[in-house]
Chain A
Amino acid sequence: MMLRRGKSLTARLTLLFAIVSSCVLLILGLVIAELVERHFEDMDLELLEGKLELIQHAVLSARTEGNFDNLPAQLDAALVGHHGLAVGVWGPDGKRLFLSEEAEFPENNAPLKPGQVLPKTWKGHDEQHYRGISGQAPTGVQGEPPAMVLLSTSLTHHDHFMQSFRLTMWAVVSLAALVSGFLGWIAASRGLAPLRNIVRRASDITANSLDQRIEAGEIPLELAEVVSTLNDMLGRLKESFDRLSDFSSDIAHELRTPVSNLLTQTQVMLSKVRSIDEYQDVLASNSEELERLSRTIADMLFLAKADNHLIVPTQEPVDLEAEISSMLEFYEPLIEEKQLQLTFHGHAEVDGDRLMLRRAVGNLLSNAIRHTPEHGFINIALELDGEKVSIRIKNSGETIPSEHLPRLFDRFYRVDSSRQRTGEGSGLGLAITKSIALAHNGSVSVSSTDGATSFSLRLPARRSF
């Protein structure tokens, strides 16, 4: 049988571990990057606002002292040491008062037109990024409009930092994926070790060692159910297997004697010319023996089917009292011949297969009649006992030693093993009765004391609606 093979569990788990840890790290990295970037922005803005205040102050003082002539000197002094910081100041008349050398304001360092807003960040001619703010610096002169101030700071440092941060992050994520994949592989392999153990044990079991079981001791909780299911399956397999082999050996044993009789008898007859009467005799006797054989085969097939739950009784109301009475009519000649005392009382109805139930009870009846000595008694009682109906057939006769009782319902079981087939009875009757009882969810039992043997057939009582 070919099984369609899925991906290995270990491979799956390894992949899963790697994917999960990379995802987590990636998200974490992206969040950190975003936070850092925001932090840089805040820092830049804080710096620029501070410088704006400084410039406003410088503008005010320069105007007070004169006509902005001192402003460039003041601003240079104020801005010294601030790499990347650029300032542009335009006077109330729009004239440029100051512009840092490295200034890269949009539109070639032009002042803002009225209503125009400075972009948050932009790219300069040198392909670098800048962030800037605009502001106004009141001159302190009545009626004079304020000076316009533009401030920018280069983002090169930040960009460099973020670039290396991202690079590091990707490296860490890839490494983490590899490491966690490896760890996952180790964990999965170790975690699945019990499973491999089970597989090894299971593969050791063959038809000859069906009584072996997979030990549940070292099995993890999650696999316990699998193991117990497997063990149950082994149990059922063993049971079926045993039944099958018992059945085969039963067949061989039980058929050997009659077949060898037939063979001997036939060949002895053929070895010499005999009279027609003799031929007829042996043919008739062969025919009887063969009929018994074919009955045995049919009975064994019935039992084999019952063993495999292929016997499905129909469910019809069966009046046991009427059925037993009619069967007693059938056995009457035998009962009278042996001068048996027969009593029958009780009334009960069950749901079941009428023909099968007749067969089950019939086997018990013929068994009782066969084993009761002349002038003995047979008592038949139908009793309703809660949910169950019991059919009890008690007959006088030798007490059966108790060690035989549990095995009486086994096929071909004979109390006296030295006593060979007495001509009637295949040794399957009671086994068939038991099978039929089981198929009806019933049971059989037997007890034997003080010169009386009592067989009981218990069946679920007919539910009255």
Chain B
Amino acid sequence: MRILVVEDEPKTGDYLKQGLAEAGFMVDLARDGLDGLHLALTEAYDLAVLDVMLPGIEGWQVLQGIRKAGKDMPVLFLTARDSVDDRVKGLELGADDYLVKPFAFSELLARVRTLLRRGSKTKEADVLRAADLELDLMRRRVTRGGKKIDLTSKEFSLLELLLRRQGEVLPRSLIASQVWDMNFDSDTNVIEVAIRRLRAKVDDSFEPKLIHTARGMGYVLEAAE
């Protein structure tokens, strides 16, 4: 998967490139709008991450240029100004998602993966698996090592999210919004507690442990290699 990052702030650009590369993407970094547009039009990318405020030509113009050339790769834009106008403008010009600075890198990564997944229609599995853990979507049943595990409906949704995106670090804010529809940053440790309770049911009396805490970033479900 190739990603184009257009970002003029040197540190941000470098870390975005490093972070995305370490998450397994091939990343090209352009430091101004003109280079960015040139790369976007000449190379083939699966996704572009675009800063709005750029020297040379603005991110909006890069976005317009990309869409005008008929390229329909998903575009995620980054903005420092959280104004409704900006968001509306970006989405109207054909952006697919946006993040307001400062953002957590784990959040960016999660959004990037969501956008990339949107493009490829994989067959929806009826049963999600990790190691000996099985989650049956049709029968709403969870088993581990053949033993049935009773979960509340929200615990089921939480586990489903973790399983669907296993291997990805999911930030707390994303978990809160996807599972509980809580779209504001709650200042409580409720996600921590919810994860702890899910772990008690899914992981505590089993090996290997599947749900891991990525400190300072979020949670990840991963069957140890």
Chain A nearest CB, measured from B74 CB (Å): 24
Whether B184 lies near A355 (C-beta < 8 A) is: yes
Whether A429 lies near B187 (C-beta < 8 A) is: yes
Chain B nearest CB, measured from A358 CB (Å): 7
B215 within 8 A of A: yes
Q: Which of A283, A332, A366 contacts B186 (CB 8 A)?
A: A366
A161 within 8 A of B: no
A426 within 8 A of B: yes
Q: Which of A284, A334, A359, A370 contacts B215 (CB 8 A)?
A: A284
Whether B216 lies near A286 (C-beta < 8 A) is: yes
Whether A285 lies near B216 (C-beta < 8 A) is: yes
The residues of A that contact B154 with a CB separation of less than 8 Å are 329-330, 332
B82 within 8 A of A: yes
B103, B176, B180, B184 — most chain A CB neighbours (10 Å): B184
Whether B217 lies near A287 (C-beta < 8 A) is: yes
A337, B188: Cα distance in complex, Å: 13
**A337/B187 contact (C-beta < 8 A), A291-B104, A301-B82, A327-B182 known:** no
Q: Which of B100, B188, B196 contacts A331 (CB 8 A)?
A: B188
A44, B148: Cα distance in complex, Å: 137
A285, B217: Cα distance in complex, Å: 10
The residues of B that contact A288 with a CB separation of less than 8 Å are 215-216
- Which residue of B is nearest A283, CB measured? B216
The residues of A that contact B194 with a CB separation of less than 8 Å are 333
**A333/B190 contact (C-beta < 8 A), A298-B82, A358-B182 known:** yes
Chain B nearest CB, measured from A457 CB (Å): 15
By size class, the interface of chain B is: 20 to 34
Q: Digitize A386-423: 1 where CB-to-B-CB distance is under 8 Å, 0 elsewhere.
A: 00000000000000000000000000000000000000
B181 within 8 A of A: yes
Q: Digitize B17-61: 1 where CB-to-A-CB distance is under 8 Å, 0 elsewhere.
A: 000000000000000000000000000000000000000000000
The residues of A that contact B182 with a CB separation of less than 8 Å are 327, 330, 358, 362
**A280/B188 contact (C-beta < 8 A), A301-B82, A326-B180, A333-B193 known:** no
B225 within 8 A of A: no
A-B pair number, CB within 8 angstroms = 77
The residues of B that contact A287 with a CB separation of less than 8 Å are 104, 215-217
A123 within 8 A of B: no
For window 421-441 of A, CB contacts with B under 8 Å fall at: 424-426, 429
A294 within 8 A of B: yes
Whether B190 lies near A355 (C-beta < 8 A) is: no
Whether B190 lies near A330 (C-beta < 8 A) is: yes
Q: Digitize B164-200: 1 where CB-to-A-CB distance is under 8 Å, 0 elsewhere.
A: 0000000000001000111111111110011011000
Whether B188 lies near A370 (C-beta < 8 A) is: yes
Whether B193 lies near A291 (C-beta < 8 A) is: no
B146 within 8 A of A: no
B102 within 8 A of A: yes
Chain A nearest CB, measured from B176 CB (Å): 7
The residues of A that contact B217 with a CB separation of less than 8 Å are 284, 287
Determine the main DSSP class of B at the interface with A. Answer: loop
By size class, the interface of chain A is: 35 or more
A357, B215: Cα distance in complex, Å: 31
Chain B nearest CB, measured from A374 CB (Å): 14
For window 278-298 of A, CB contacts with B under 8 Å fall at: 280-281, 283-288, 290-291, 294-295, 297-298
Whether B181 lies near A326 (C-beta < 8 A) is: yes
The residues of A that contact B184 with a CB separation of less than 8 Å are 355, 358-359, 362
A330, B186: Cα distance in complex, Å: 10
A130, B167: Cα distance in complex, Å: 126
- Which residue of A is nearest B103, CB measured? A294
**A424/B189 contact (C-beta < 8 A), A283-B216, A330-B176 known:** yes
A369 within 8 A of B: yes
Whether B190 lies near A295 (C-beta < 8 A) is: no
Q: Which of A284, A331, A333, A337 contacts B216 (CB 8 A)?
A: A284
Q: Digitize A231-275: 1 where CB-to-B-CB distance is under 8 Å, 0 elsewhere.
A: 000000000000000000000000000000000000000000000
**A334/B216 contact (C-beta < 8 A), A294-B102, A297-B102, A298-B82 known:** no
The residues of B that contact A333 with a CB separation of less than 8 Å are 190, 193-194, 196-197
A291, B188: Cα distance in complex, Å: 13
Whether B190 lies near A362 (C-beta < 8 A) is: no
Chain A nearest CB, measured from B23 CB (Å): 16
A187, B100: Cα distance in complex, Å: 63
Can you pick out 14 interface pairs between chain A and chain B where the beta carbons lie within 8 Å of each other? Answer: A284-B215, A288-B216, A291-B104, A294-B103, A298-B100, A298-B185, A326-B180, A327-B180, A327-B182, A331-B190, A358-B181, A359-B183, A366-B186, A366-B190
Beyond A331-B190, A358-B182, 15 additional pairs, beta carbon < 8 A = A284-B216, A285-B215, A285-B216, A287-B104, A287-B217, A294-B102, A327-B182, A330-B154, A330-B190, A333-B190, A333-B194, A366-B186, A366-B190, A424-B189, A426-B187
